[in-house]
Chains A and B, each alone.
Chain A
């Protein structure tokens, strides 16, 4: 039988066991072993090829319609944007010359453009090209960017190197959004040539350019001659290989068949760390993982919300008891070998908007039981947990089951294939759903759509005017200090409402050959290979 007090002992034992076996200091969950980049890296030699293993296949390589995370990894190396984020996750200019100038009323955004830049097909980058791209992002059929660019009413060319965006209302998240696909500028020449099929042979500004794509297999990029910073680029060729099984990615990394493998499973980390030929890169994800609880989605996400009967939906005390029964540290230690960050907030700890004095509370089984008694509900309380079918998530579900059982919950896990799960979630046909979000640099991207009653991803059916107002004001307030305060209030409110119980932030682990130097890996999980190379020796 399970004794939760033994969980900690086990984890400690495991840690000691690991240390004894690998001869390295035991993993302390608060001091991750990996690094974002290695200072004092050996200088890189010019030339060479590198193979990167991706965890999924990217979708179309067209920034206007692309929706996958791995697609962004490829874009990060071949399609630069107006802005980018640095290792502190601050927005910095990339194709823009400086940060945007925002007018007093917040409705005009002026963006200066970097001089002397050409696309990888030789076309000049100018304000006209920027205008073409932004308008295409907004207007193309099936665009995935139109919601993000909704506040943009029109784009003006002020002069060949200055672009002006006229907004319908002030938008704080917009700058950060221009540091993602909405800010990617495509070659107008290529857009002319291929139109909707731009993704078949994309041309942008980038250290590398698109060379070949073999569906389900690989995407090949080659050094771009026309890149404005070509001197900083070392590699001749980058091949993105698609290997969707974590253990296989790790195996290929260890055998040398790939040089870099992104998103390693926590179960593969020890082998990578103990291998002298490999290095582990780590970054805290800007996303989150949690349990969404259906509190009001009774008719589907696009219909009016209502009241739900199920015990966990009807009484907030029951939800509170459920959270009290969980032990975030234990979950982290048992399911993820202690490698992730336990959390109760949708904003990652490394964001400037993260609340500073967050107390997630300790596990309190007695308190949970008392609450259930107070709520007058019959135990065990049935809870259905929908979750995805991958082995790690299933493990998580099993541990949640065990933990909740002690407080009087009977959790029934329902592993569901991902696409069907999304469908069911939108339709409101679920009780609770273990789901996460890959994260956006701006906190609005992690919160608004999930908690606003009109949010596109509000599967929990939460509808609360106060919270709605707070979220809207956070969106339109430009001053970061004020926004942080508003978000602190938002987090307090949603923690009380508990339509989402946040559990942890993932740490993203990428393994690479020790020969690879200059690799940049930040909290957005994107591999930046611009100045990466092979060690000169």
Chain B
């Protein structure tokens, strides 16, 4: 019985996937977003090769030079090439984005699954604690965690990831509550399948779409959050470049060296926008009724 129903489930799914892919590629904006996001990831991965001067090559001869052929984005207060630092700074953003998102998912999804599936006392306890955590504004949570853990990139990513957990738990649980009522789940329960199998084979795959969409929401949020924490001094520590750190240093030179404040911010904007575009397209295709 279960073997045949498994087969019957697979092929319509494959067909659906093809259809979705076509719908996705028809939306120009989403494709552009996807390509840009990929580009951003590649830049981050190959940053050392792409940065002509490296991250910390100071040149006291060429301090605060405005954009020129030798330095397309100008140089900073220690004569370092701004372009190279922006390129290398992408690594911090991508690490934060990826790490925070993965962390949030890994922690929140199991909790949400358990709460939504088992309901009852377990659910109540989890949800009350979750409500309490949700009550803290995300930034305050992130700042507090970063302050507790100490300033560093990994700790900032940790703080951001943990701050995203309560909301993700809420969303996961909501989805599970819905799916739980579906017939195929009832059928599986009736046929005596054990809980773990049900969760893994029936429920988890069906919330994948929502999780995927949430990931595309989380990544850009994490990128901005990392730059913010670094800006406040709680994330990446100088001299390691990170867009947030560079913006923080740029404040003192706002008048004399506008290029220091402009380019890192543009980088954050482009990276975030790409993921948002991509995520938007994905959402429209997978989950058109999703509450933004």
Query: For the complex, what is the distance from the CA of A136 to the CA of B145, rounded to whole Å?
Result: 40
Provide the B45-73 mask, 1 if CB < 8 A to any CB of A, else 0: 00000000000111111010000000000
For B238, list chain A residues within 8 Å (CB): 389, 391, 394, 398, 415
Consensus secondary structure, chain A interface = helix
Q: Is A1 an interface residue (CB 8 A)?
A: yes
Q: Is the CB of B252 within 8 A of A389?
A: no
- Type the 1/0 row for B228-262, where 1 means its CB is closer than 8 Å to any CB of A: 00000100011100000000110111111000000
Q: Which residue of A lies closest to B62 (CB)?
A: A10
**B78 located at the interface, meaning its Cβ lies under 8 Å from any Cβ of chain A in the complex:** yes
Assign chain B's interface to a size class. 20 to 34
Is B265 positioned at the interface, with any CB of A under 8 Å from its CB? no
Known A-B contacts A247-B252, A271-B255; the reply to A398 vs B61 at CB < 8 A is no
Q: A2–B233 contact, CB under 8 A?
A: no
Residues of A within 8 A of B78 (CB): 334, 395, 398-399
Assess the A247–B60 pair: CB atoms within 8 A: no
A334 closest partner in B (C-beta): B60
Please give, as numbers and ranges, the residues of chain A lying within 8 Å of B56 by CB-CB distance. 398
Contact present for A2 and B60 (CB under 8 Å): yes
B-contacting residues, A383-442, CB 8 Å:
389, 391, 394-395, 397-399, 402, 413-417, 420
B151 interface residue (CB < 8 Å to A): yes
B175 at the interface (CB under 8 A from A): no
Contacts of A215 in B (CB 8 A): none
Which chain A residue shows the least CB distance to B251? Answer: A247
Contact A246 B237 (CB under 8 A): no
A14, A246, A398, A402: the one contacting B252 at CB < 8 Å is A246
Q: How far is the CB of A390 from chain B (nearest CB, A)?
A: 8
Chain B window 8-43, contacts with chain A (Cβ cutoff 8 Å), 1 for yes, 0 for no: 000000000000000000000000000000000000
Question: Given A10-B63, A246-B252, A267-B252, A398–B150 Cβ distance below 8 Å?
Answer: no
The tally of residues in A whose CB lies under 8 Å from a CB in B reads: 30
* A6 located at the interface, meaning its Cβ lies under 8 Å from any Cβ of chain B in the complex: yes
Residue of B whose beta carbon sits closest to that of A333: B60
Scan residues 240-275 of chain A and give those whose CB is less than 8 A from a CB of chain B.
245-247, 265, 267-268, 271
Instruction: Kindly state the separation between the CA atoms of A417 and B234 in the bound complex, as whole angstroms.
Output: 9
Tell me which residues from 356 to 397 in chain A have a Cβ below 8 Å from any Cβ of chain B.
Answer: 389, 391, 394-395, 397
Residues of A within 8 A of B248 (CB): 391
Residues from chain B with Cβ under 8 Å of A7 in the complex: 60
User: Chain A residues with Cβ under 8 A from B77's Cβ?
Assistant: 267, 395
Cross-chain contact of B60 among A6, A267, A271 (Cβ < 8 A): A6
Is the beta-carbon distance between A2 and B59 smaller than 8 angstroms?
Answer: yes
Bound form: Cα–Cα A221–B63 in Å: 43
- A174 to B277 Cα, complex, angstroms: 69
User: B208: shortest Cβ distance to chain A, in Å?
Assistant: 41
Q: Digit string of A448-469 for contact with B (CB within 8 Å is 1, else 0)? A: 0000000000000000000000
- Known contacts A1-B57, A398-B58, A398-B78, then 11 further A-B pairs from the complex at CB < 8 Å, ordered by chain A residue: A2-B58, A14-B63, A247-B251, A267-B77, A391-B238, A394-B249, A395-B77, A398-B238, A398-B239, A414-B237, A415-B237
**18 contacting pairs across A/B (C-beta < 8 A):** A1-B57, A3-B61, A14-B63, A245-B251, A267-B77, A389-B151, A389-B233, A391-B248, A391-B249, A394-B249, A395-B78, A398-B58, A398-B78, A398-B238, A398-B239, A414-B237, A417-B147, A417-B233
